[in-house]
Structure 1
């Protein structure tokens, strides 16, 4: 338990975190990754380069300090962190390394006059409290996955049963347990993590499960990013019958039981988790509006799949496609340009009493989040998945809660 003095000191540093938290965390990451190479596989270097990871952690540290007296006010943030950590197999031995680098960054960035021994002691105690909470929750999650039918702890070997090109940019990989054993179930919207060795370097990446649970295989659908180290490796070098190291499914951006009409909105590769959600939703009686935005038809993955489902479920499923820059051959779409507020209103159900799930590129998500608020969809019925602080995504709508990781 933190002492009253510790809590008072931590709360006194909130203004410093508000103004300089990102710089502090950037310094923390620089130290951590330079001096402790064993933890590098746990971090996506692309997110390091563009600052997303520093912003996300800075936001988390700030939220922890603000709610140090009432940790229950952190809401879904703890669950998001736990799911992320479990997906990458973060272990108790990683926490002392992170704690030492964080306290060092506080001292070096703020300076000894501000980061006094008392401040370092208070933040050390606060960090240990959080570490103990996370370690306990993560161990519970690891144990639950390991004990469930078809479950496992750490990595498990999976064989690439099929590799299927879905669009000009996206390829699907169908993965089956190499040992032929049972397969752990998952919730639509969850993801798995891969552990790969690329040019002698270990890397780990999360990918959404893009097909509904079927008990015998997982499917991930990977977009080739122009400078994506892992995505290009998967596209160019991983072939059928190869084996991959896979961590068990995780994630809290999942389809919840409801009878309300369901609206699934995606942009680009953000379509992947909505596919599993759609298949499961169609087994119920709830109406579904599926809205997808792509640059053009060549990069629109899974269109045939969605069209086929709509043909089989004409009363339940309505689908809408928006192409930013349609090609001459892209005649079958509902709108050209961006998915703006007017088009979204047109494609949505007549009532705002709906459940909305959306994800895609950051600008797309920022626009959709703003449109949904303007349209009047209740914030509690809007769910999304995003890497980074919610305020960064919705500075025009700060009251919107962040869901997902």
Structure 2
């Protein structure tokens, strides 16, 4: 909780700081990487830095946290903090890195805002920063302890023991620890960080959802990324990694996980967002779960739909499950006309008490969430996962 004096200062200066955050965050990263270039080379996603999405996510999280402190001082925004902490833990972020961030962030704030940053303003925002940082450090320490890695390094050298072609653009990798240690515990919906060494020597890290739960391996799936910039790690995995190769893979993390219970479950995805959803569906089928399950997926076409056969087989295996599939460009004759185009959850009968899990691009998430709210699903029962920096932090309450 902010001190009363700092609360008033932050409330008064939040519009100014928030309005300038788009200038502050690029300057912060420039200063940070000039001081520690190895962080850009071996920790931060270079693609997300190039397209600016990581900078937007940082700006959004700081603004959302400060707003929460002044508008709802009695409630800590734990959902936002947990999302960030899980991502940090998957990357191995350590407490000693937080002062470095504070140093360059506040240098950027002072440079952008100039004389507006009085000692009192600086002290108030420093309080905001350390409230957020110390909360994250505490959550991350718990995550590391649970993973048996109090030093913060949960990465395990793993050998690729299987590679499967799901579609022309999606490949599934099965990996097993080199030292034959037991597989780390995972919950359906979580992801792992995978580190590879690229041709220029950079050791870049990316997160991939667990797309199944085989007994003797970790399974994650990767979509080739031909965007601008192209996906360095995803494309490297597609082009250069096969059975027998070794990858550094973290323990599983992620706060969007399938919870046990008896209430109906809706799993909705678009594109490669199917990976955590198929992992959840696999878990439900393996357990013979008897609750009502509604699986929804949207894709470009049948041939681009990864895990299409799995989706149909798993829903058929469950005692009370149904699948609804939309394609923008159906290839098969007889595809229902009312399932052509974008997914429309308003066309589905959603039972009372449903818990929903969503994964896909932001436009899909926003539309699906709005349709679920209109159908009477409680906001607290709608959980989402988004790949890459979470640009929705603080906006989906």
Does TM, scored on the shorter chain, surpass 0.5? yes
Rounded to whole Å, the distance in 2 between the matches of 1:47 and 1:71 is 34
Rounded to whole Å, the distance in 2 between the matches of 1:308 and 1:125 is 53
RMSD over equivalenced CA pairs, Å: 2.4
Within 5 Å, give how 1:61-72 maps onto structure 2. Answer: 61-68=62-69, 70=73, 72=75
Partner in structure 1 of residue 244 of structure 2: 241
Rounded to whole Å, the distance in 2 between the matches of 1:377 and 1:64 is 26
Distance 1:330 1:139, change over 3 A: farther
Shift of 1:330: 5.9
Partner in structure 1 of residue 137 of structure 2: 135
2:258 corresponds to 1:255: yes
* Residues 61-96 of structure 1: per-residue CA shift (max 9 Å, x gap): 112222336373313111111111101100122112
Partner in structure 2 of residue 302 of structure 1: 307
Deviates most, 74-83 or 241-250: 74-83
Shift of 1:281: 2.3
2:178 corresponds to 1:175: no
Contact (CA 8 Å) 1:325, 1:337: kept in 2 or not? yes
Distance 1:73 1:91, change over 3 A: closer
For structure 1, the residue ranges without an aligned partner over 5 or more in a row are 393-397
* Residues 344-381 of structure 1: per-residue CA shift (max 9 Å, x gap): 233343x2431111111222222212222223322122
* Residues 78-129 of structure 1: per-residue CA shift (max 9 Å, x gap): 1111111101100122112111111011101111x10123322333343234
Deviates most, 214-223 or 85-94: 214-223
Shift of 1:255: 0.7
Partner in structure 2 of residue 145 of structure 1: 147
Rounded to whole Å, the distance in 1 between the matches of 2:216 and 2:59 is 40
Partner in structure 2 of residue 28 of structure 1: 28
Shift of 1:331: 4.6
Shift of 1:196: 1.4
Within 5 Å, give how 1:295-334 maps onto structure 2. Answer: 295-313=300-318, 315-327=319-331, 329=332, 331-332=334-335
Partner in structure 1 of residue 56 of structure 2: 55
Contact (CA 8 Å) 1:211, 1:276: kept in 2 or not? yes
Partner in structure 1 of residue 292 of structure 2: 287
Partner in structure 2 of residue 198 of structure 1: 198
* Residues 21-79 of structure 1: per-residue CA shift (max 9 Å, x gap): 22222221222223321221332223223332222211221122223363733131111
Partner in structure 1 of residue 46 of structure 2: 45
Contact (CA 8 Å) 1:146, 1:153: kept in 2 or not? no
Q: Aligned pair count?
A: 385
Shift of 1:332: 4.7
For structure 2, the residue ranges without an aligned partner over 5 or more in a row are none
Contact (CA 8 Å) 2:64, 2:393: kept in 1 or not? no
Shift of 1:288: 0.9
Contact (CA 8 Å) 2:92, 2:152: kept in 1 or not? no
Deviates most, 370-379 or 185-194: 370-379
* Residues 115-164 of structure 1: per-residue CA shift (max 9 Å, x gap): 1233223333432343233223212221221179xx99432111100111
**Which 4+ residue blocks in structure 1 deviate beyond 6 angstroms?**
none
Contact (CA 8 Å) 1:11, 1:68: kept in 2 or not? no
Distance 1:137 1:355, change over 3 A: closer
* Residues 225-250 of structure 1: per-residue CA shift (max 9 Å, x gap): 10111111000000111010111111
Aligned equivalent of 1:104, options 103, 107, 116: 107
Partner in structure 2 of residue 217 of structure 1: 217
Q: Secondary structure of the equivalent of 1:118?
A: helix
Give the TM-score normalised by structure 2. 0.90
Contact (CA 8 Å) 2:293, 2:320: kept in 1 or not? yes
Contact (CA 8 Å) 2:156, 2:248: kept in 1 or not? yes
